[in-house]
């Protein structure tokens, strides 16, 4: 009877292939910035099934790469491409509007396989390109001053065929900066997306921004930060160059303000959040000696109760 119960429990807890795939996808999609390859290696070892791993990886890596705005170098080193939903022109193909090239990528390996020239229908009209390229030039200057190793790009997502004033169109600015230092047990990333909608009828430009900061520290612990912030702003439609300067000033203002608010909130952590914890941090500010718990009376009491003491 006992053996039957054990067999029943084993059958009840046995996962189907679909369940394994979903669990594997969860771990892959929730990997911290720059760490999905490490997570994938462990997931692969745990699954011990190449078919299940391959299916989970093929479904997870594209979403992860796009959400983390990863940057890949062209095989010929003629430029870089940001992997985003805005740059995606076809399955595994991503546009770099600055060089007018399309990269075909291997999502799981996170590399560009080859590059081709962009087709005319994949690029904006000459009129929209004036605004896009002016914005691209200004945002490049801002990113190079603000984010070490930061990458940015500007895409046209609506009104790509607009040839003259009198019609609406939309640009999207993407900024991605990452610092990966696994040898020092820390990785971090900054991601911001700015939707810029040019509304001709009211001669206004509406700006919507979303900023996201991620950090992971894992030296003798596991601490993660995932902070998000959204904002809105408006300005007037001007010439391409003047509009670009005005819009980049708006982006600079909001990103600087958000970073300053983050810094302020973390400086206040000891006096606010930590004080609200059920137990305050030890006055000694030292790590708990897990290797030598025998020095504590609680451990001795438990050993005595269980009869496992000397």
- 109-134: average pLDDT: 96
Give the pair of three-digit tokens for residue 19. 């369940």
Helix (H) or strand (E) holding 191: strand 186-199
> Considering only 13-17, 190-194, 237-241, 299-303, which range has the smallest mean pLDDT?
299-303
Q: In the chain, pLDDT over 90 holds for what percent of residues?
A: 71
pLDDT at 10: 47
pLDDT at 189: 94
In the sheet with 223-236, reading across from the earlier edge strand, the strands are: 151-158, 169-181, 186-199, 204-217, 223-236
What is the sign of the dihedral through the CA atoms of 12, 13, 16 and 18? positive
Has residue 168 got a pLDDT over 60? yes
- 230-247: average pLDDT: 97
pLDDT at 220: 81
DSSP annotation of 148 reads: T
pLDDT at 286: 66
Strand partners, 173: 154, 194
Strand partners, 233: 207
Q: Which string of b and e fits 146-184 if b means at least 16 CB within 10 Å?
A: bbeebbbbbbbeebbebeeeeeebbbbbbbbbbbbeeee
Is pLDDT larger for residue 264 or for residue 274?
264
Of 168, 72, 171, the closest CA to residue 112 belongs to 72
pLDDT at 242: 97
> Considering only 17-31, 123-137, 169-183, 280-294, which range has the smallest mean pLDDT?
280-294
């Amino acid at each position: 009877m006992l053996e039957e119960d054990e067999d029943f429990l084993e059958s009840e807890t046995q996962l189907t292939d679909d369940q394994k795939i979903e669990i594997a996808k969860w771990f892959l999609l929730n990997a911290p910035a720059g760490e999905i390859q490490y997570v994938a290696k462990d997931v692969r070892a745990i699954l011990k099934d190449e078919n299940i791993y391959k299916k989970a990886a093929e479904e997870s890596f594209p979403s992860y790469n796009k959400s983390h705005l990863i940057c890949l170098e062209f095989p010929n080193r003629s430029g870089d491409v940001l992997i985003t939903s805005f740059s995606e022109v076809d399955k595994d193909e991503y546009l770099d509007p600055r060089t007018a090239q399309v990269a075909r990528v291997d999502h799981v390996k996170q590399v560009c396989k080859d590059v081709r020239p962009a087709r005319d229908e994949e690029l904006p009209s000459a009129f929209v390109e004036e605004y896009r390229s002016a914005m691209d030039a200004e945002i490049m200057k801002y990113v190079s001053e603000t984010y070490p190793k930061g990458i940015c790009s500007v895409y046209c997502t609506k009104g790509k065929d607009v040839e003259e004033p009198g019609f609406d169109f939309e640009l999207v600015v993407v900024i991605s900066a990452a610092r990966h230092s696994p040898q020092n047990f820390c990785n971090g990333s900054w991601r911001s997306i700015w939707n810029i909608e040019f509304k001709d009828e009211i001669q206004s430009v509406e700006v919507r921004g979303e900023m996201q900061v991620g950090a992971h520290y894992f030296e003798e612990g596991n601490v993660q930060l995932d902070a998000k912030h959204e904002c809105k702003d408006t300005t007037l439609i001007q010439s391409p160059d003047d509009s670009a300067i005005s819009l980049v000033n708006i982006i600079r203002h909001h990103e600087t303000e958000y970073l300053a608010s983050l810094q302020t909130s973390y400086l206040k952590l000891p006096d606010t959040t930590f004080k609200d914890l059920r137990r305050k941090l030890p006055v000694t500010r030292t790590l708990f000696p897990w290797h030598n718990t025998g020095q504590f009376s609680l451990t001795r009491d438990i050993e005595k109760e269980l009869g496992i003491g000397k």
